[in-house]
Homo-oligomer: A and B are copies of this chain.
Amino acid sequence: MFSNRMPRYEILSPDAVAVLDRGWRRIVSEIGVQFGKAEALELFAKAGQRVDGDTVFLDPEFVLEQVRQVPAEFDMQARNPANNVHIGGDKMVFGAVYGSPFVREGEVRREATLEDFRKLAMLSQSFPELDSAGGVICEPNDAPLDSRHLDMIYALQTLTDKIYMGNVVSGPNAADTIKMTEILFGGRESIERTPAIISLINCNSPLRWDERMLDAMFEYCAAAQPVVLTPFLLMGAMSPVTVPAALAQQLAEALSGLARAQLSRPGCPVVFVAFLSNLDMQAGSPSFGTPESAIGLLCTGQLARHYGLPFRTGGGLNSSQTCDAQAAYESLMTLLPTFLAGTNFVMHAAGWLEGGLVSCYEKFIVDVELLRMLRVEFTPLEIDEASLAFGAHEEVGHGGHFLGAQHTMERFRDCFYRPLLSSTANYDRWLKLGGQDATARATGLVSKRLAEYEAPAIDEAIRSELAGYVARRRAALGD
């Protein structure tokens, strides 16, 4: 897990924060937020909030009381304790792409399968830059619909020994995730003490939380498992076309979801989220890696700190159809600000392509390279007299070179970042090596990593119990 001890890049003035603060207060109190679930409406009514139909009109002070119940930071356990994570503070936790129905492998784009899911989980396990394979690394379209969540959770639990994300398609799916996690971690008490599942709960923006998401959220909160409350704002579609309006709406949505979570389990960890981009207003299609999304991301970090909440944003987002220059620059246009903001939880950090419709193997490698570079870039320099290497200057003098200097010889192995994918070969050598561009080289790295993959050890009794659970539940679901 990476600690970002570099300064935060903050761009909002105190006045701007105050305007945004007034913005969400007005939205929740005057327009209100819809909750598509009777239980949620009852909880809000009981807590003294005005409810009219599906709409809850929230008192901002009540919302802030709920905010104060949320832990600013929390731990999560992985089945390999070396992979435990801490969410909040200066820590950054990274997971792979989430939710793509398609995969891309070289020139082939096709529907994702369970085999793809497994391979992407194995890749996630093999790179220490990822703290989690995430959840739905791709949608396994060849697995039966009603029970594929079981296959996915089983794969995450057995092919990786890192934290994973819970299924949120329905309340029963969430319950299955929790049961299987109890098996893996030795019972409910263990995971209530230190959570082991983190789950993505999406708002139906603008300003509506739907029934199925609320059901899943209810299950996870009841088990004290963290929820990542996500307004999904493509400006122009789900929010107005200005960044400040989107930020105020994002606060209204995330904080109202947070209040819902605290009402069912006070103190349940939640993660505040920006997933903020915009439509391409000419094409009408979603646009990722835009300047507006980078600005929104930087503001979000500052707002999260203002309200004392751990937060999620960023990732390797882009709109590109292939793993090309556009995919790379749009991804870094999001990922570098993700580090500047000190983001605590980063989904989609490896493999995202084509606006999230595609999990791309080669892009996965490109993104891991970016994460590796950024970890070095966001590690503070040590600057003291010794670091000035005055002796090396005395040794080399004027117009000479430092290749053979003692100071260099002592450090050359690890003094600089060593790339995974990037090539510095001169042109002739590069041609001799095959003249492959970065994406073609990434294909080779995917094969190599998968060939070298080693499954993390697992207690056979537990593995068997998990497999038994999957089989029983699949039968019960009629798949």
Using CB atoms and an 8 Å cutoff, list the residues of chain A in contact with chain B: 6-7, 9-12, 15-16, 19-20, 22-23, 26-27, 31-34, 54-55, 109, 204, 206-208, 235-245, 248-249, 278-283, 285-287, 289-292, 294-295, 299, 319-333, 336, 340, 354-355, 357, 366, 369-370, 373-374, 376-377, 380-385, 387-390, 392-394, 396-403, 405, 407-408, 411-413, 415-419, 421-427, 430, 435, 437-439, 442
Contacts and interface: CB of A to CB of B under 8 A. Distances in A.
Contacts of A321: 423, 425, 427, 430, 435, 437
Contacts of A412: 236, 241, 281
Given A320-B438, A427-B357, A292 B417 contact: yes
A336 B295 CA distance: 13
A377 B324 contact: no
25 contacts: A20-B383, A20-B388, A31-B393, A32-B398, A34-B398, A206-B399, A235-B416, A237-B402, A240-B389, A240-B393, A241-B407, A241-B411, A241-B412, A245-B389, A245-B392, A245-B393, A291-B373, A291-B417, A295-B381, A324-B438, A326-B421, A326-B423, A329-B369, A332-B336, A354-B427
Given A324-B439, A328-B328, 19 more contacts: A11-B381, A12-B381, A20-B388, A27-B390, A34-B398, A206-B397, A207-B397, A208-B398, A237-B401, A240-B393, A241-B389, A241-B416, A245-B387, A249-B393, A287-B424, A321-B435, A329-B370, A333-B377, A340-B340
Contacts of A384: 19, 244
Between A244, A249, A412, the greatest number of chain B beta carbons within 10 A of the residue's beta carbon is seen for A244
Contacts of A327: 325
Contacts of A357: 427
A388 B332 contact: no
Contacts of A374: 291
Contacts of A419: 280, 287
B7 A241 contact: no
Contact of A286 (B22, B407, B424): B424
The count of identical subunits is 2
A240 B392 contact: yes
A355 B401 contact: no
A69 to B, nearest CB: 26
A19 B388 contact: yes
Nearest to A18: B383
A402 B285 contact: no
Nearest to A385: B19
Contacts of A206: 393, 396-400, 402
The 9 closest A-B pairs by CB, nearest first: A240-B389, A325-B328, A328-B328, A291-B377, A291-B376, A324-B437, A326-B438, A245-B389, A244-B387
Contacts of A400: 206
Given A206-B400, A397-B31, A240 B407 contact: yes
A239 B402 contact: yes
A415 B287 CA distance: 13
Nearest to A210: B399
Nearest to A9: B9
A329 B328 contact: yes
Contacts of A10: 7
